[in-house]
């Protein structure tokens, strides 16, 4: 859809300028901007050129959701609506399936994470490879993106893409909702017809029955179902729910709801919590090939004020260094394993003896875990 940018291109802190090759259509080099300002246009693309030819168009993406209260729960505000739909909130990487066109009107299908125009293929995080597995498993994703008037928003989650919550699945994807290509808003997954797995509708509430007390009761119900091992940073259960406030014939707004333990990890103390920084550092690899301190800080600025970030800078650096070290170790170990030419499932002893000569003894368990995850996916 050819038009002008729906977001401000002059505020350099709130946009990311890009010029990249589309990995799904490698003949195309696409130029434009990503909006990083919180709100309904978060992650939206404004494409200006395809192969150096002007063809301005807007790609509407996954909006940024908020809570219906402030941090201290002193002020509550729910949108006007006729009813509210509650869907499970998954903890993974958001993937948007979308189309764009060149100056001749030819249409191309591709995919993106929130703050990138395309899926990254960095050596420390190859989201394209992970997503390709889902496209092979669910080929209808391609068909519906081509045929629909909406972009499709998915969550890519599981043990191989762990953020905070532990899931039983190794790798899985579910449709969260669809996004109008014309800026008309989002559509809940229950209205989507097709053979693509989607998040389940948990309950439907009349708007007159929605209140802070009902919201907090739902939070406690999710809390009671959580399994939490704080020492080993293991959480199992629902990360939360997404509330769709539906005003018939007008619009749909989303808000999020998380159990107290998840919120505690996110908000506790005057400094930013370990878990919030950790998840932000992991998410940074969705948007940058090798994120730097400033990249992580800019992502944290979307959620936390300057004072909290300043108090947390030493912690941010330590956690980013740890996440980067783990990513590099994983890449290094896998490359050496490929050259070794021995299947760890056939001869675990020889493989581990080889790595015992390459790395300190205290790394053995970590190396086996990385190799096992790589070989057995």
Query: Residue 266 in contact with residue 279, Cβ under 8 Å?
Result: no
Query: Residue 265 in contact with residue 106, Cβ under 8 Å?
Result: no
Question: At which residue do the structure tokens 């290509």 appear?
Answer: 181
Query: Residue 186 in contact with residue 252, Cβ under 8 Å?
Result: yes
Three-state DSSP at 194 gives coil
Q: Where are the domains of the chain?
A: 12-267, 268-377
Rg of the chain over Cα atoms, rounded to whole angstroms, equals 22
Quick one: tokens of 222?
Answer: 């999710």
Quick one: tokens of 307?
Answer: 């004072």
Quick one: tokens of 142?
Answer: 């391609």
Assigned CATH for 12-267? 3.30.470.30
pLDDT tens, position by position, for the chain (377 residues)?
Answer: 557 899 999 988 889 999 999 999 999 999 999 998 888 899 999 999 999 999 999 999 998 888 999 877 778 999 999 999 999 999 999 999 999 999 999 999 999 998 999 998 766 668 899 999 999 999 999 988 877 788 999 999 998 888 888 999 989 999 999 998 888 888 898 877 778 899 999 999 999 999 999 999 999 999 999 998 776 667 899 999 999 999 876 788 999 999 988 887 766 666 787 888 888 888 888 888 888 998 898 888 877 878 888 888 888 998 899 888 888 888 888 888 888 888 888 888 888 888 888 888 878 888 888 787 777 65
Angle at 114 between CA 197 and CA 334, to 5 degrees: 80
Residue 177's pLDDT is 94
CA distances from 76 to 87, 142, 268 (A): 21, 40, 20
Per-residue buried b or exposed e for 225-239, using 16+ beta carbons within 10 Å of the residue's own CB: ebebeeeeeebebbb
Q: Which residues are CB-neighbours of 119 under 8 A, at least 6 positions away?
A: 23, 24, 95, 110, 111, 112, 113, 127, 128, 131
**Whole-structure pTM value:** 0.81
Give the C-alpha separation, 158 to 217, whole Å.
Answer: 28
Extended strands (E) in the chain: 15-22, 25-35, 45-50, 53-59, 83-89, 93-101, 107-112, 121-122, 125-126, 150-157, 172-180, 186-187, 201-206, 227-229, 234-236, 240-247, 251-257
Q: Which residues are CB-neighbours of 26 under 8 A, at least 6 positions away?
A: none
CA nearest to 71, candidates 240, 263, 257: 263
Cα of first residue to Cα of last residue in the chain, in angstroms, is: 39
CA nearest to 81, candidates 202, 223, 244, 238: 244
Helix, strand, coil share (%) of the chain residues, nearest 5 = 35, 30, 35
Question: At which residue do the structure tokens 């669809």 appear?
Answer: 178
**CB atoms closer than 10 angstroms to residue 4:** 8
Residue 2's pLDDT is 55
**Beta bridge pairs of residue 174:** 155
């Amino acid at each position: 859809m050819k038009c002008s940018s729906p977001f401000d291109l002059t505020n350099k802190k709130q946009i990311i300028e890009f010029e990249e090759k589309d990995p799904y259509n490698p003949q195309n080099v696409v130029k434009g901007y990503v909006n990083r300002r919180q709100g309904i246009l978060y992650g939206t693309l404004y494409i200006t050129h395809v192969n150096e030819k002007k063809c301005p168009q807007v790609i509407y993406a996954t909006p940024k959701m908020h809570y219906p209260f402030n941090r201290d729960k002193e002020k509550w505000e729910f949108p006007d609506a006729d009813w509210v739909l509650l869907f499970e909130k998954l903890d993974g990487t958001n993937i948007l399936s979308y189309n764009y066109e060149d100056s001749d009107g030819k249409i191309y299908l591709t995919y993106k994470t929130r703050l990138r125009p395309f899926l990254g293929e960095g050596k420390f995080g190859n989201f394209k490879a992970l997503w390709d597995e889902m496209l092979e498993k669910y080929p209808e994703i391609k068909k519906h993106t081509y045929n629909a008037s909406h972009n499709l928003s998915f969550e890519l989650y599981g043990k191989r893409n762990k953020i905070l919550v532990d899931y039983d699945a190794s790798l899985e994807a579910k449709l969260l909702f669809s996004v109008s290509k014309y800026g008309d808003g989002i559509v809940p997954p229950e209205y989507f017809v097709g053979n693509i797995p989607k998040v389940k509708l948990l309950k439907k509430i009349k708007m007159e029955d929605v209140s802070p007390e009902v919201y907090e009761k739902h939070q406690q119900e999710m809390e009671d179902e959580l399994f939490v091992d704080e020492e080993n940073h293991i959480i199992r259960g629902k990360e939360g729910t997404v509330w769709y406030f539906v005003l018939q014939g007008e619009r749909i707004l989303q808000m999020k709801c998380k159990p107290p333990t998840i919120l505690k990890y996110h908000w506790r103390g005057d400094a930013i919590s370990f878990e919030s920084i950790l998840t932000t550092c992991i998410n940074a690899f969705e948007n940058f090939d090798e994120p730097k301190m400033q990249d992580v800080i800019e992502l944290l600025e979307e959620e936390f004020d300057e004072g909290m970030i300043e108090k947390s800078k030493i912690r941010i650096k330590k956690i980013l260094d740890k996440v980067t070290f783990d990513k590099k170790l994983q890449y290094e170990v896998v490359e050496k394993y490929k050259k070794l030419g021995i299947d760890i499932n056939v001869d675990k002893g020889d493989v581990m003896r080889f790595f015992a000569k390459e790395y300190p003894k205290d790394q053995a368990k970590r190396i086996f875990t990385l190799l096992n995850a790589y070989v057995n996916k």
